[in-house]
Amino acid sequence: MIYFNNVSKIYNRDSVALEDVNLTVTAGEFVSIVGHSGAGKTTLIKMILADDKPTEGTVFFESVDVHKLRSGDLNKLRRKIGAVFQDFKLLPNKTAYENIAFAMEAAGKSDEEIASDVPHVLELVDLGSRIFHFPHQMSGGEQQRLAIARAIINQPELIIADEPTGNLDPINTYEVIQILKKINDLGTTVILTTHNRGVIDSIGKRVITLEKGKVVRDDKDGKYVI
């Protein structure tokens, strides 16, 4: 599904974000990417989304070089990817329903599809009772679950979760990770970046460890080892 072929990102002589990265993520995997701050986790994610270009090497998504796509084709690619971030990126003046409906409208979904699918996805992330609440009326954990609902509403093939529990307490962290595991169990590929040892150890899936831009470990059933 995703293939990094000898990928390096060099900003200048003193700033090497990625160095000769080779890795493959197959469809249906749950992959955690770990490393200290500055290890290259976010840069790697940006490469998949084509938000940044490698200095050397190639990034493939479903056998397509993502950095050679024209604007229209790149937008089609990004519709196959749902993204969740540490700071939620919700629309503050829209309710939970409206935040998700907005994502569906952008994808060209009909009013009937929106009315049918939004309540269902909110139930999936245990927010059925919060459907008409605004983000400021929700806890941090609820806001992150709403962000996940928005990310999966258009049935992407891949979910990228970049430090999604960074601002959450242990209870909300657990709930968010359980939802990501549930999404993966339903067949969606999940790539999670985190520095939370407890999260990694609770998942028990593949762990890729980055250090100074290099892949230093790739464990099939990994723990957090740095």
Look at residue 12 in the predicted model and tell me its pLDDT: 85
Look at residue 195 in the predicted model and tell me its pLDDT: 86
Tokens of residue 160, six digits: 């990228």
DSSP letter string over 90-132? --TTS-HHHHHHHHHHHTT--HHHHHHHHHHHHHHTT-GGGTT
Do residues 33 and 210 touch, judged by C-beta distance below 8 A? yes
CA distance 103 to 96: 11
Look at residue 222 in the predicted model and tell me its pLDDT: 72
Ranges under pLDDT 50 in the chain? none
CA distance 158 to 78: 10
Look at residue 64 in the predicted model and tell me its pLDDT: 95
β-sheet bridge partners, residue 33: 193, 208
**For tokens 């049935």, what's the residue?**
155
Sequence letter at residue 143: Q
pLDDT tens, position by position, 35-49: 988 899 999 999 999
Sequence letter at residue 136: H
